[in-house]
């Protein structure tokens, strides 16, 4: 077993142990949103996912009103978290951008259903005085079906927080940052829109930076500019993996890119 496989297996076993403990702890109690509140596989092969019949044919067929109760006819989703997991990031930034529609995309059905329940509870309780009607999560294979949901130049921000490393060479093609996929992200991202990436795996961080550096439509945002970005502190610590890496004192490899404005 190589080092990558060993790390991957340790992660999976750790997540399952945490999940089992959480399930026992919260039996008969109102759930508290801890790191892994349900049992689910840590990774899923996006290339073997369901058929296109499970998705809308085009963005105009998406029932956004069902996701956002106070949706107005001119509203549109502008922030996307790819691989949102249990919703740590999207629920943290919802009060920061209260007038912006935020969507989390998660490929694992049980996890996306849990995140929807979490958001519904937040809508009922309204902590911090925020309504949470501007945030939702869906089951979505982002490697295949993003153009089915989003129009050209629609999004302002796309987050890739601690994506699956897919350590083995033969599974690199499952990584969410690929040259062909970056072209899709560029299509749905508005000029001047941002891509945020972060990981605790150095090799993956270098991989993502290399592919984004090589794409002609993106420029890396200097670290000095990120000091005033209100979302930076949330990508560091608000997701479940962000909390994990902070607790364990692991390094985090962060890079932010801006889509070029062409004249």
Domain boundaries, the chain: 76-259
Whole-structure pTM value: 0.82
Which of these is catalytic: 81, 164, 200, 219? 164
Winning range, highest mean pLDDT, from 53-57, 133-137, 167-171, 233-237: 133-137
Region 66-73: what's the mean pLDDT? 90
Q: Are 143 and 177 in contact (CB under 8 A)?
A: no
Residue 193 structure tokens:
């829109």
Longest Cα pair distance anywhere in the chain, in angstroms?
A: 60
Give the tens place of pLDDT for each residue, 40-66. 455 555 556 555 567 899 999 999 999
Confidence of residue 217 (pLDDT cuts 50, 70, 90): very high
Q: Are 107 and 44 in contact (CB under 8 A)?
A: yes
pLDDT of residue 239: 87
Strand partners, 105: 82, 138
> pLDDT exceeding 70 applies to what percent of the chain?
80
Tallying the residues shown for the chain, one arrives at 263
49 flagged as catalytic: no
Determine whether the annotation assigns residue 2 to a binding site: no
**Chain mean pLDDT for the chain:** 85
Strand partners, 159: 81, 196
Determine whether the annotation assigns residue 239 to a binding site: yes
Determine whether the annotation assigns residue 60 to a binding site: no
Region 179-197: what's the mean pLDDT? 98
Q: Which CATH superfamily is domain 76-259 in?
A: Vaccinia Virus protein VP39 (3.40.50.150)
Determine whether the annotation assigns residue 142 to a binding site: yes
- Burial 4-38, CB ≥16 within 10 A → b, else e: beeebeebeeebeebbeebeeeeeeeebebebbbe
Rounded CA separation 136/77 (Å):
10
pLDDT at 175 over 70: yes
pLDDT of residue 52: 57
Determine whether the annotation assigns residue 206 to a binding site: no
Q: Are 258 and 197 in contact (CB under 8 A)?
A: no
């Amino acid at each position: 077993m190589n080092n990558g496989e060993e790390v991957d297996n340790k992660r999976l076993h750790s997540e399952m142990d945490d999940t089992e403990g959480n399930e026992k702890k919260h039996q008969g109690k109102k759930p508290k949103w801890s790191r892994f509140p349900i049992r689910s596989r840590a990774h899923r092969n996006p290339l073997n996912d369901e058929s296109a019949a499970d998705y809308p044919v085009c963005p105009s067929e998406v029932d956004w009103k069902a996701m956002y109760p106070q949706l107005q006819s001119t509203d549109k989703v502008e922030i996307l978290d790819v691989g949102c997991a249990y919703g740590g990031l999207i629920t943290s930034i919802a009060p920061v951008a209260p007038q912006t529609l935020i969507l989390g995309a998660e490929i694992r059905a049980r996890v996306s259903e849990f995140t929807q329940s979490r958001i519904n509870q937040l809508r009922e309780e309204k902590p911090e005085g925020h309504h949470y009607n501007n945030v939702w999560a869906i089951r979505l294979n982002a490697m295949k079906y993003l153009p089915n949901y989003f129009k050209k130049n629609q999004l302002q921000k796309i987050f890739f927080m601690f994506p699956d490393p897919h350590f083995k060479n033969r599974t690199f093609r499952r990584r969410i940052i690929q040259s062909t996929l970056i072209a899709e992200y560029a299509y749905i991202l508005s000029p001047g829109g941002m891509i945020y990436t972060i990981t605790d795996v150095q090799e993956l961080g270098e991989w993502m930076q290399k592919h984004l550096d090589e794409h002609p439509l993106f420029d890396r945002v200097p670290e000095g500019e990120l000091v005033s970005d209100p979302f930076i502190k949330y990508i560091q610590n608000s997701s479940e993996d962000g909390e994990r890496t902070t607790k364990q004192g692991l390094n985090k490899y962060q890079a932010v890119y801006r889509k070029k404005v062409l004249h």
